[in-house]
Structure 1
Amino acid sequence: MSEVGLRADAERNRQRILVAAEELFLERGATVSLDEVAKRAKVGAGTLYRRFPTREALLAAASDERFTSVAEASRARDADYKPGEALCQFLEELALNTSVYQSLAASLGTVIQHGTPGCNAITEEGHRLLQRAKEAGVVRKDIRFDDIVCVVSAIAIAVEKDSEPAPRVAHLVDVLFNGMRVL
């Protein structure tokens, strides 16, 4: 996703940084050195830090399209799922997309606060689905979106090294959801 108002050369550098970050995050995880990202992107460290002042800002930008897709898919299937099912499906997809980069889950709560379109979409959709589930009486009233982010992070950490994480994510989301259920 490009930034509005960047000069053409600045936008090219931004895109090169994001491509390099994606490659390195996939290869070695979210804790890779930002200097290594700058080197692979063939830009100076100052260029990287002007665009992405923190690791979390770079992770948010690199995850932006995935997060946007999760939120859009959730909204698109809204009428097909009951409130609890919709929330569970969203949590599964968020956990799977958080586990794409090893170690991203450890900073998910900070990453999604960066205000990228994808981060905003995830947050808005998570709040909407949680509220819908509460109103339907299937989720306890004391559950907050921050609680869900913490548990999704834990689930994503638990499956980071699994070669086939989807079944385990589904099981762990079911365990989580049963803990949130109104008794």
Structure 2
Amino acid sequence: MIDEPVLRADAQKNRELILSAAEALFMEKGADVPLEEVAKRAGIGIATLYRRFPTREALLAATSNERFLTLAETSRARDPDLAPGEAVRAYLEELARNTSTYQRLAASIGTVIQCGTPGCNAITAEGHRLLQRGQAAGAIRRDVTYEDFIYVVTAISIAIEHDGSPKSRIGHLVDLFLNGISITAPD
């Protein structure tokens, strides 16, 4: 996890301006909006932006932090009420929906969640926990990895984005994936 140093008041204000501008522009124009445009909207120089967020993915992770923390917390809270396979399904659906928050975020989600923000760490840890729980219960094949989850979420999110399908289709696509990774009794 990244331990952010305590920032001076002006540096904290700049960070907040950058995050606010980035969130607005990512929602309006997508995750690939030029970072110069983010800096301009925030009223700061591009060097200040890069000092706080050295990569686009780091900025995307920071703007997604609260959503990712909420996703992980919600998943843990509902865990006692769901069978292992159902818990994995709910997690994958929510992660795909979160990945679809900004247009064109899906293509870089695998890199974004490796940025080490508290939210990124939380969804990764929760995904690993759910995968292990599903495998221990015999609901998910042993050769499935967390990276497989990310590949599938990426593919689902890109498919939804490119063909203009409604987000309600995410559940169907997650079901198709889960049917492929589930352990079924031989015929």
Q: State whether TM-score is above 0.5.
A: yes
Q: May I ask how many residue pairs the two structures share in their alignment?
A: 181
- Structure 1 distance, partners of 2:166, 2:147, is 27
**Structure 1 spans left out of the alignment, 5+ residues:** none
- Structure 2 distance, partners of 1:170, 1:46, is 41
Give the TM-score, by structure 1 length.
0.96
User: Could you say which residue in structure 2 is the equivalent of 1:152?
Assistant: 153
* Aligned-pair Cα RMSD in Å: 1.3
* Paired residues of 1:126 and 1:145 also in contact (CA < 8 A): yes
Q: Aligned AA for 2:37?
A: E
Q: Deviations over 1:118-174 (max 9, x none)?
A: 000000000000000000101000000001101101111112264731x20000000
Give the TM-score, by structure 2 length.
0.94
Please give the secondary structure, in 2, of the residue aligned with 1:77.
helix
- Structure 2 distance, partners of 1:159, 1:70, is 20
User: Could you say which residue in structure 1 is the equivalent of 2:104?
Assistant: 103
- Structure 2 distance, partners of 1:21, 1:28, is 10
- Structure 2 distance, partners of 1:4, 1:163, is 42
User: Could you say which residue in structure 2 is the equivalent of 1:23?
Assistant: 24
Alignment of 1:81-92 (within 5 A): 81-92=82-93
- How far apart are 1:43 and its partner, in Å? 0.4
* Paired residues of 1:3 and 1:11 also in contact (CA < 8 A): no
- Structure 2 distance, partners of 1:11, 1:98, is 27
**Structure 2 spans left out of the alignment, 5+ residues:** none
Identity of aligned residues (%): 63
User: Cα 1:74–1:31, aligned 2, differ >3 Å: closer, same or farther?
Assistant: same
